[in-house]
Protein backbone atom coordinates (compact mmCIF):
# COMPACT_ATOMS: atom_id res chain seq x y z
CA UNK A 1 0.00 0.00 0.00
CA UNK A 2 1.22 3.50 -0.86
CA UNK A 3 2.54 5.41 2.13
CA UNK A 4 2.82 9.19 2.54
CA UNK A 5 6.35 10.29 3.30
CA UNK A 6 5.31 13.02 5.69
CA UNK A 7 2.57 13.81 8.21
CA UNK A 8 0.55 15.92 5.84
CA UNK A 9 -1.25 15.43 2.55
CA UNK A 10 -0.25 16.71 -0.85
CA UNK A 11 -3.07 19.06 -1.83
CA UNK A 12 -2.31 18.66 -5.52
CA UNK A 13 -2.85 14.90 -5.44
CA UNK A 14 -6.51 13.95 -5.87
CA UNK A 15 -8.19 11.05 -4.13
CA UNK A 16 -8.55 9.18 -7.43
CA UNK A 17 -4.86 9.65 -8.19
CA UNK A 18 -3.92 8.26 -4.78
CA UNK A 19 -6.17 5.25 -5.33
CA UNK A 20 -4.50 4.55 -8.67
CA UNK A 21 -1.06 4.88 -7.10
CA UNK A 22 -2.09 2.51 -4.31
CA UNK A 23 -3.20 -0.08 -6.84
CA UNK A 24 0.13 0.22 -8.63
CA UNK A 25 2.04 -0.21 -5.38
CA UNK A 26 0.18 -3.46 -4.65
CA UNK A 27 0.72 -5.03 -8.06
CA UNK A 28 3.66 -7.46 -8.07
CA UNK A 29 6.99 -6.11 -9.17
CA UNK A 30 5.30 -2.98 -10.59
CA UNK A 31 4.93 -1.51 -7.11
CA UNK A 32 7.04 -1.11 -4.01
CA UNK A 33 5.63 -4.25 -2.37
CA UNK A 34 6.92 -6.24 -5.31
CA UNK A 35 10.32 -4.57 -5.08
CA UNK A 36 10.27 -5.12 -1.31
CA UNK A 37 9.70 -8.85 -1.81
CA UNK A 38 12.49 -8.97 -4.36
CA UNK A 39 14.81 -6.94 -2.15
CA UNK A 40 14.19 -9.25 0.80
CA UNK A 41 14.99 -12.40 -1.18
CA UNK A 42 18.25 -13.05 0.70
CA UNK A 43 16.65 -12.41 4.08
CA UNK A 44 13.73 -14.66 3.18
CA UNK A 45 16.18 -17.48 2.51
CA UNK A 46 17.88 -16.74 5.83
CA UNK A 47 14.69 -16.71 7.91
CA UNK A 48 11.36 -17.84 6.47
CA UNK A 49 12.65 -20.50 4.09
CA UNK A 50 14.61 -22.02 6.97
CA UNK A 51 11.53 -21.84 9.20
CA UNK A 52 9.55 -23.67 6.50
CA UNK A 53 12.16 -26.42 6.34
CA UNK A 54 12.24 -26.64 10.12
CA UNK A 55 8.51 -27.08 10.73
CA UNK A 56 8.29 -29.64 7.91
CA UNK A 57 10.89 -31.76 9.69
CA UNK A 58 8.83 -31.98 12.90
CA UNK A 59 5.66 -33.94 13.57
CA UNK A 60 5.02 -32.26 16.92
CA UNK A 61 5.86 -29.01 18.70
CA UNK A 62 8.52 -29.61 21.34
CA UNK A 63 11.46 -27.87 22.97
CA UNK A 64 13.85 -29.03 20.26
CA UNK A 65 11.78 -27.17 17.68
CA UNK A 66 11.84 -23.98 19.75
CA UNK A 67 15.61 -24.25 20.21
CA UNK A 68 16.24 -24.67 16.47
CA UNK A 69 13.91 -21.78 15.70
CA UNK A 70 15.80 -19.67 18.21
CA UNK A 71 19.06 -20.43 16.37
CA UNK A 72 17.51 -19.38 13.04
CA UNK A 73 16.34 -16.03 14.40
CA UNK A 74 19.65 -15.25 16.12
CA UNK A 75 21.62 -16.13 12.98
CA UNK A 76 19.40 -13.71 11.02
CA UNK A 77 20.57 -10.87 13.31
CA UNK A 78 17.27 -10.42 15.11
CA UNK A 79 19.40 -10.24 18.26
CA UNK A 80 19.68 -12.52 21.26
CA UNK A 81 17.45 -10.51 23.61
CA UNK A 82 14.73 -9.90 21.02
CA UNK A 83 14.86 -13.52 19.89
CA UNK A 84 14.41 -14.76 23.46
CA UNK A 85 11.38 -12.49 23.89
CA UNK A 86 9.88 -13.68 20.59
CA UNK A 87 10.41 -17.36 21.43
CA UNK A 88 8.93 -16.94 24.92
CA UNK A 89 5.89 -15.22 23.41
CA UNK A 90 5.60 -18.00 20.84
CA UNK A 91 5.67 -20.67 23.56
CA UNK A 92 2.86 -18.88 25.41
CA UNK A 93 0.69 -18.60 22.31
CA UNK A 94 1.20 -22.24 21.42
CA UNK A 95 0.13 -23.19 24.95
CA UNK A 96 -2.81 -20.77 25.17
CA UNK A 97 -4.20 -21.74 21.77
CA UNK A 98 -3.47 -25.44 22.26
CA UNK A 99 -1.54 -25.53 18.99
CA UNK A 100 -0.11 -28.95 18.16
CA UNK A 101 0.62 -28.69 14.42
CA UNK A 102 4.18 -27.43 13.69
CA UNK A 103 2.82 -25.98 10.46
CA UNK A 104 1.01 -23.29 12.46
CA UNK A 105 4.26 -21.99 13.98
CA UNK A 106 5.01 -19.80 10.95
CA UNK A 107 1.70 -17.91 11.21
CA UNK A 108 2.16 -17.31 14.93
CA UNK A 109 5.74 -16.13 14.41
CA UNK A 110 4.63 -13.73 11.68
CA UNK A 111 1.99 -12.18 13.95
CA UNK A 112 4.49 -11.73 16.78
CA UNK A 113 7.08 -10.04 14.56
CA UNK A 114 4.47 -7.60 13.22
CA UNK A 115 3.48 -6.73 16.80
CA UNK A 116 7.12 -6.25 17.83
CA UNK A 117 7.76 -3.84 14.96
CA UNK A 118 4.48 -1.97 15.37
CA UNK A 119 5.18 -1.21 19.04
CA UNK A 120 7.34 1.78 18.12
CA UNK A 121 6.44 2.18 14.45
CA UNK A 122 6.35 5.75 13.18
CA UNK A 123 6.55 5.54 9.38
CA UNK A 124 5.95 9.18 8.49
CA UNK A 125 8.59 11.88 8.57
CA UNK A 126 7.88 14.73 10.97
CA UNK A 127 7.05 17.16 8.20
CA UNK A 128 3.81 19.08 8.11
CA UNK A 129 2.59 22.54 7.29
CA UNK A 130 5.39 24.43 9.03
CA UNK A 131 9.04 24.66 7.87
CA UNK A 132 10.96 21.47 8.57
CA UNK A 133 14.57 20.43 8.94
CA UNK A 134 15.93 16.92 8.47
CA UNK A 135 19.37 16.34 9.95
CA UNK A 136 20.98 13.20 8.53
CA UNK A 137 23.81 11.52 10.43
CA UNK A 138 25.77 8.28 10.05
CA UNK A 139 29.24 6.92 9.43
CA UNK A 140 30.89 7.11 6.02
CA UNK A 141 29.95 4.39 3.56
CA UNK A 142 26.44 3.62 4.80
CA UNK A 143 24.69 5.45 1.95
CA UNK A 144 24.01 8.68 3.82
CA UNK A 145 24.39 11.13 0.93
CA UNK A 146 22.53 8.85 -1.47
CA UNK A 147 19.67 8.53 1.03
CA UNK A 148 19.49 12.33 1.31
CA UNK A 149 19.21 12.60 -2.46
CA UNK A 150 16.40 10.04 -2.57
CA UNK A 151 14.52 11.64 0.34
CA UNK A 152 14.78 15.06 -1.32
CA UNK A 153 13.54 13.64 -4.62
CA UNK A 154 10.46 12.07 -3.01
CA UNK A 155 9.57 15.13 -0.93
CA UNK A 156 9.80 17.38 -3.98
CA UNK A 157 7.65 14.94 -5.95
CA UNK A 158 5.08 15.17 -3.17
CA UNK A 159 4.90 18.94 -3.48
CA UNK A 160 7.50 20.21 -1.00
CA UNK A 161 10.02 22.96 -1.72
CA UNK A 162 13.35 21.42 -0.71
CA UNK A 163 16.85 22.77 -0.10
CA UNK A 164 20.00 20.72 0.62
CA UNK A 165 22.98 21.58 2.84
CA UNK A 166 26.35 19.93 2.14
CA UNK A 167 27.41 19.72 5.78
CA UNK A 168 29.80 16.80 5.24
CA UNK A 169 32.84 18.90 4.44
CA UNK A 170 35.26 16.22 5.59
CA UNK A 171 34.76 13.28 3.21
CA UNK A 172 36.34 13.80 -0.19
CA UNK A 173 33.66 13.95 -2.86
CA UNK A 174 30.70 14.28 -0.47
CA UNK A 175 29.88 17.82 -1.61
CA UNK A 176 30.07 16.94 -5.31
CA UNK A 177 28.00 13.81 -4.73
CA UNK A 178 25.24 15.83 -3.06
CA UNK A 179 25.32 18.40 -5.87
CA UNK A 180 24.80 15.60 -8.42
CA UNK A 181 21.71 14.48 -6.54
CA UNK A 182 20.52 18.08 -6.37
CA UNK A 183 20.94 18.49 -10.12
CA UNK A 184 18.95 15.31 -10.77
CA UNK A 185 15.94 16.66 -8.91
CA UNK A 186 16.54 20.36 -9.67
CA UNK A 187 17.13 21.13 -6.00
CA UNK A 188 19.63 23.77 -4.87
CA UNK A 189 22.53 22.82 -2.62
CA UNK A 190 24.16 25.18 -0.13
CA UNK A 191 27.86 24.32 0.05
CA UNK A 192 31.25 25.68 1.13
CA UNK A 193 34.71 24.47 0.17
CA UNK A 194 35.89 21.03 1.24
CA UNK A 195 37.39 21.12 4.74
CA UNK A 196 35.41 24.16 5.85
CA UNK A 197 33.37 24.37 9.06
CA UNK A 198 30.29 22.16 8.83
CA UNK A 199 28.36 24.35 11.26
CA UNK A 200 28.98 27.39 9.04
CA UNK A 201 27.42 25.54 6.10
CA UNK A 202 24.33 24.69 8.15
CA UNK A 203 24.11 28.31 9.36
CA UNK A 204 24.10 29.65 5.78
CA UNK A 205 21.65 26.96 4.66
CA UNK A 206 19.19 27.83 7.44
CA UNK A 207 19.17 31.50 6.46
CA UNK A 208 18.84 30.60 2.79
CA UNK A 209 15.91 28.29 3.58
CA UNK A 210 14.19 30.96 5.67
CA UNK A 211 14.66 33.73 3.10
CA UNK A 212 13.45 31.51 0.25
CA UNK A 213 10.54 30.24 2.36
CA UNK A 214 11.49 26.60 1.79
CA UNK A 215 9.34 23.80 3.21
CA UNK A 216 12.19 21.43 4.00
CA UNK A 217 15.93 21.80 4.57
CA UNK A 218 17.89 18.53 4.53
CA UNK A 219 21.37 18.67 6.05
CA UNK A 220 24.20 16.24 5.43
CA UNK A 221 26.77 15.88 8.23
CA UNK A 222 30.29 14.51 8.59
CA UNK A 223 30.41 10.76 9.17
CA UNK A 224 33.51 10.49 11.30
CA UNK A 225 33.27 7.99 14.13
CA UNK A 226 36.90 7.52 15.08
CA UNK A 227 36.58 9.84 18.05
CA UNK A 228 33.31 10.08 19.97
CA UNK A 229 34.31 13.37 21.59
CA UNK A 230 35.01 15.03 18.23
CA UNK A 231 31.75 13.69 16.83
CA UNK A 232 29.87 15.01 19.85
CA UNK A 233 31.48 18.42 19.51
CA UNK A 234 30.74 18.65 15.78
CA UNK A 235 27.10 17.56 16.02
CA UNK A 236 26.56 19.55 19.19
CA UNK A 237 27.71 22.71 17.44
CA UNK A 238 25.43 22.03 14.46
CA UNK A 239 22.34 21.38 16.58
CA UNK A 240 23.04 24.44 18.70
CA UNK A 241 22.99 26.60 15.57
CA UNK A 242 19.76 24.99 14.38
CA UNK A 243 18.00 25.62 17.69
CA UNK A 244 19.26 29.19 17.85
CA UNK A 245 18.67 30.26 14.26
CA UNK A 246 15.39 28.57 13.41
CA UNK A 247 12.82 28.40 16.18
CA UNK A 248 9.48 26.69 15.78
CA UNK A 249 10.42 24.31 13.00
CA UNK A 250 9.52 20.64 12.79
CA UNK A 251 12.64 18.53 13.00
CA UNK A 252 13.83 15.03 12.22
CA UNK A 253 17.22 13.61 13.13
CA UNK A 254 17.72 10.52 10.99
CA UNK A 255 20.52 8.01 11.49
CA UNK A 256 21.49 6.07 8.36
CA UNK A 257 22.80 2.55 8.94
CA UNK A 258 23.92 -0.17 6.53
CA UNK A 259 21.92 -3.40 6.96
CA UNK A 260 24.80 -5.51 5.65
CA UNK A 261 26.91 -4.61 8.70
CA UNK A 262 24.55 -6.58 10.96
CA UNK A 263 25.16 -6.19 14.69
CA UNK A 264 27.76 -3.51 13.97
CA UNK A 265 24.86 -1.30 12.87
CA UNK A 266 23.47 -1.52 16.40
CA UNK A 267 26.80 -0.48 17.90
CA UNK A 268 27.00 2.51 15.54
CA UNK A 269 23.46 3.49 16.43
CA UNK A 270 24.23 3.30 20.15
CA UNK A 271 27.18 5.70 19.74
CA UNK A 272 25.11 8.24 17.80
CA UNK A 273 22.26 7.87 20.27
CA UNK A 274 24.68 8.81 23.07
CA UNK A 275 25.87 11.83 21.10
CA UNK A 276 22.55 13.24 19.92
CA UNK A 277 18.83 12.60 19.90
CA UNK A 278 17.84 10.30 17.03
CA UNK A 279 14.20 10.43 15.94
CA UNK A 280 14.34 7.72 13.29
CA UNK A 281 16.46 5.23 11.40
CA UNK A 282 17.11 4.85 7.69
CA UNK A 283 18.18 1.29 6.92
CA UNK A 284 19.98 0.91 3.59
CA UNK A 285 21.14 -2.08 1.50
CA UNK A 286 18.58 -4.55 2.84
CA UNK A 287 18.71 -6.27 -0.53
CA UNK A 288 22.37 -7.10 0.06
CA UNK A 289 22.02 -9.17 3.21
CA UNK A 290 20.51 -12.46 4.34
CA UNK A 291 20.31 -11.02 7.85
CA UNK A 292 17.48 -8.51 7.44
CA UNK A 293 16.38 -9.39 10.95
CA UNK A 294 18.58 -6.45 11.94
CA UNK A 295 15.48 -4.29 11.27
CA UNK A 296 13.76 -5.98 14.19
CA UNK A 297 16.82 -5.86 16.45
CA UNK A 298 17.37 -2.14 15.82
CA UNK A 299 13.76 -1.24 16.52
CA UNK A 300 13.45 -3.37 19.64
CA UNK A 301 16.80 -2.80 21.30
CA UNK A 302 17.20 0.91 20.57
CA UNK A 303 13.54 1.93 20.87
CA UNK A 304 13.97 4.08 17.76
CA UNK A 305 11.52 3.69 14.87
CA UNK A 306 12.80 2.58 11.48
CA UNK A 307 11.35 5.25 9.20
CA UNK A 308 12.84 4.42 5.82
CA UNK A 309 14.28 1.28 4.23
CA UNK A 310 16.25 0.80 1.03
CA UNK A 311 15.91 -2.42 -0.95
CA UNK A 312 17.77 -1.43 -4.11
CA UNK A 313 19.75 1.24 -5.90
CA UNK A 314 16.88 2.87 -7.81
CA UNK A 315 15.54 6.19 -6.61
CA UNK A 316 12.17 4.60 -5.72
CA UNK A 317 13.77 1.76 -3.76
CA UNK A 318 13.90 3.89 -0.61
CA UNK A 319 10.47 4.02 1.00
CA UNK A 320 8.70 4.58 4.34
CA UNK A 321 8.96 1.50 6.52
CA UNK A 322 5.68 -0.33 7.00
CA UNK A 323 6.03 -3.14 9.60
CA UNK A 324 3.15 -5.22 8.25
CA UNK A 325 4.26 -4.85 4.62
CA UNK A 326 7.81 -5.79 5.63
CA UNK A 327 6.76 -8.98 7.44
CA UNK A 328 4.17 -9.82 4.75
CA UNK A 329 6.88 -9.57 2.08
CA UNK A 330 9.23 -11.65 4.21
CA UNK A 331 6.69 -14.42 4.73
CA UNK A 332 5.06 -14.25 1.29
CA UNK A 333 5.05 -17.66 -0.37
CA UNK A 334 4.01 -16.34 -3.77
CA UNK A 335 0.54 -17.84 -3.61
Going along the chain from its start, the domains and CATH numbers come out as 15-123+322-335 (1.20.120.140), 132-278 (3.40.50.300)
CA pair distance 195, 206, nearest whole angstrom: 20
pLDDT confidence of residue 172? 83
pLDDT confidence of residue 225? 65
- Asked whether 131 and 245 are in contact (CB, 8 A), the reply is no
pLDDT confidence of residue 25? 42
**pTM for the structure as a whole:** 0.87
Do the strands 280-284 and 250-258 form a parallel or antiparallel pair, or are they unpaired?
Answer: parallel
pLDDT confidence of residue 15? 39
Q: Which residues pair with 252 in a beta bridge?
A: 134
CA pair distance 192, 198, nearest whole angstrom: 9
The fraction of the chain above a pLDDT of 90, given in percent, is 59
pLDDT confidence of residue 120? 85
- Tell me the DSSP string of 170-218: SSTTHHHHHHHHHHHHT--EE---TTS-HHHHHHHHHHHHHHTT-SEEE
- Low-confidence stretches of the chain (pLDDT < 50) are 1-2, 9-29, 335
Q: Which residues pair with 258 in a beta bridge?
A: 284
Question: 309: closest CA among 298, 295, 324?
Answer: 295
First-last CA distance in the chain: 18
pLDDT confidence of residue 204? 97
pLDDT confidence of residue 188? 98
Amino acid sequence: MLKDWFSGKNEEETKDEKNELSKEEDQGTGGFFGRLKEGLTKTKKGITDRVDDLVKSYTKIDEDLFEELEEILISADIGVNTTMEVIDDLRERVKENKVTDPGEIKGLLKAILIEVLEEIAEPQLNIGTKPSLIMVVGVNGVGKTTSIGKIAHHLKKEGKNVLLAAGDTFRAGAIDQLKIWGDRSEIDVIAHAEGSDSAAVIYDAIHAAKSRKMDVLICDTAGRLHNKKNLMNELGKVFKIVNREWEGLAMESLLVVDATTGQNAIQQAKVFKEVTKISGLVLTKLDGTAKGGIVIALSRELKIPVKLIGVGEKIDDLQPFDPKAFVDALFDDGK
